[in-house]
């Protein structure tokens, strides 16, 4: 855990009186205060749950929305199974692998794969981000257009390495990893989610152990998303990579996916 994580203070607050009881319950579950000095606010209102960095340099609130905005645009116009992420995990005609997204974040990549028909399990270890995901999935479940997609997404909150090592039941065919990378290029901090989450999450210093656990569990392949010029994760080397403009997917195949 980084020093930033230890000192980041978060309070919970209702944006409207009707949500006071729900935010109190959530605050108790997450161990958050309802008042006092804070660096972040977890807020609940009519549009759902959101996380806001407080202060003059705030990038604005972040919430998970699978119904409208960027997720809806990508679902309708993103390129379907021709997208690079789909190719990376092995989506083909008649093949929709069971995928574990072990570093779920805001769930965007998992939603893309679920919209293509993959059964998804998501792991998010940061409780606040997991709460945003849980809220986004609950709202998606109530929307006619995306309820069937949300039903293919199962969320687990916990340490991905421990959960993979102690996995119960059928192993995922594909494990997808997108660990937080220690960026040195300041332009990489432009995305407000990165600016917001870095003090809370820090970098994934345990990425090699994450990859090792994934390789031990996945039945068919492991896929690691990286910034295009970033080094590979230490340990086993990928067999090949798919490269885009800003990202690449390192592929660790174990067995051929079949229909």
The pair phi, psi for residue 49, each rounded to 5°, is -90, 140
Q: What are phi and psi of 205, to 5 degrees?
A: -70, -15
Strands of the 48-53 sheet, one edge to the other:
10-14, 40-45, 48-53
Q: Is 124 annotated as a binding residue?
A: yes
Contact assessment for residue 123 and residue 204, using Cβ atoms and an 8 Å cutoff: no
198 is in an annotated binding site: no
57 annotated as ligand-binding: no
What is the rounded CA–CA span in Å between residue 7 and residue 165?
Answer: 30
Tell whether 109 is in a known binding site: yes
65 a known binding residue? no
Q: C-alpha angle 36/41/44, rounded to 5°?
A: 115
* 125: nearest Cα among 146, 104, 141, 101: 104
Pairing of strands 40-45, 10-14: parallel
Provide the annotated binding site for S-adenosyl-L-methionine: 108-109, 124-125, 178
Provide the annotated binding site: 108-109, 124-125, 178
């Amino acid at each position: 855990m980084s020093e930033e994580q230890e000192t980041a203070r978060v309070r919970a607050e209702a944006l409207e009186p009707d949500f006071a009881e729900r935010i109190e319950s959530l605050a108790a579950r997450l161990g958050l205060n309802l008042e006092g000095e804070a660096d972040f606010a977890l807020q609940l209102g009519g549009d759902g749950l959101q996380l806001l960095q407080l202060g003059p340099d705030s990038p604005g609130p972040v919430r998970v929305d699978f119904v409208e905005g960027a997720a809806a645009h990508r679902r309708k116009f993103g390129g379907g199974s021709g997208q690079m992420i789909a190719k990376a995990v092995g989506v083909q005609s008649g093949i929709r692998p069971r995928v574990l997204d072990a570093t779920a974040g805001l769930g965007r990549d998992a939603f893309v794969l679920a919209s293509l028909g993959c059964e998804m399990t998501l792991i998010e270890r940061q409780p606040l981000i997991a709460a945003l995901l849980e809220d986004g999935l609950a709202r998606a479940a109530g929307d006619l257009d995306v309820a069937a997609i949300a039903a293919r997404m199962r969320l687990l909150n916990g340490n991905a390495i421990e959960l993979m090592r102690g996995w119960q039941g059928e192993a995922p065919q594909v494990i997808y990893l997108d660990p937080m990378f220690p960026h040195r290029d300041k332009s990489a901090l432009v995305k407000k989610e990165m600016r917001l989450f870095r003090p809370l999450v820090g970098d994934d210093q345990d990425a090699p152990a994450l990859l090792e656990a994934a390789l031990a569990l996945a039945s068919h392949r492991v896929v690691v998303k990286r910034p295009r010029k970033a080094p590979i994760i230490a340990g086993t080397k990928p067999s090949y990579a798919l490269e885009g403009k800003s990202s690449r997917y390192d592929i660790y195949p174990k067995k051929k996916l079949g229909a």
